[in-house]
Structure 1
Amino acid sequence: MTKTEASECYNIPVEVLDEYESWGLCGEVIKVMGAWQYDDRDIERLSMIMTLHDIGFSNKEIETYMRLMLEGDSTEQERLRMLSDKRSDTLDEIHFRERQLDRLDYLRFKMKKKGRPEKHSQKT
């Protein structure tokens, strides 16, 4: 499968494929008649790259993770640590955003309450 075919078929931006090739991780990719050819293992790796990107890994983190993955099972603990660190960072971000929402809701509540006329109870 050519770079263009892989990009179109799997909805992977050509820039991602270029980056993948620049990392030298595509040992199975061969030059055939001037076009790169991707096999199923390359597509699996590209899928992993897209997943890592989607969960917030930087390009450098993705490259590190992919190099470790290609080294094999002996790097599983390091890759698990990377995933755990990203999970922890994501939870921290979620908690920060929840606090922001709480503050926003409080300000909205105060403004809405301020705009309402107070109800006075009449005692007779």
Structure 2
Amino acid sequence: MTMEQANEAYGIPPAILREYERLAACKAQRRGMAAQEYDERDLERMSLMMTLHDIGFTAGQVETYMRLLLQGDDTAHERLRMLNDRRRCTLEEIHLRERQMDRLDYLRHEMRKTENKHRQE
């Protein structure tokens, strides 16, 4: 499967395809001068890269994670640590947003009280 076919069939953005090639994470064979061929394993890895980006990993973190993955099962502990760190950060972001929503709701409530008070006068 070529870069264009992977993009069309699986919705893999060209940026991910280029990042995957740059990381040398694939072992695809070149057919012709410029056509990069991807197999099922390559597509699975690119899907993982998309997921890592989606959950908030930086490009550097994605690169680190993928390099660890390619080193094998001995790196599972480190990869799990990276996922746990991202989870912790995401929970902190959620809690921050919840506090912001509470403040927003308080301000809205106060404004409504003021509006109702003015209507009654």
- Superposition TM-score, scaled by structure 2 size: 0.94
Aligned length: 119
Within 2, Cα distance between the matches of 1:47 and 1:12?
8
Partner of 1:31: 30
Partner of 2:12: 12
Partner of 1:116: 116
Please tell me the root mean square deviation across aligned C-alpha atoms, in Å.
1.4
Query: Which structure has the greater CA radius of gyration?
Result: 1
Q: Could you tell me the percent identity over the aligned residues?
A: 54
Q: Which consecutive residues of structure 1, in runs of 5 or more, have no partner in the other structure? A: 120-124
Partner of 1:50: 50
Q: Which has the higher contact order (CA 8 A, sep 6+)?
A: 2
Partner of 1:63: 63
Q: Which consecutive residues of structure 2, in runs of 5 or more, have no partner in the other structure? A: none
Within 1, Cα distance between the matches of 2:51 and 2:72?
19
| 4+ residue segments displaced more than 2 Å | none
Within 1, Cα distance between the matches of 2:100 and 2:11?
34
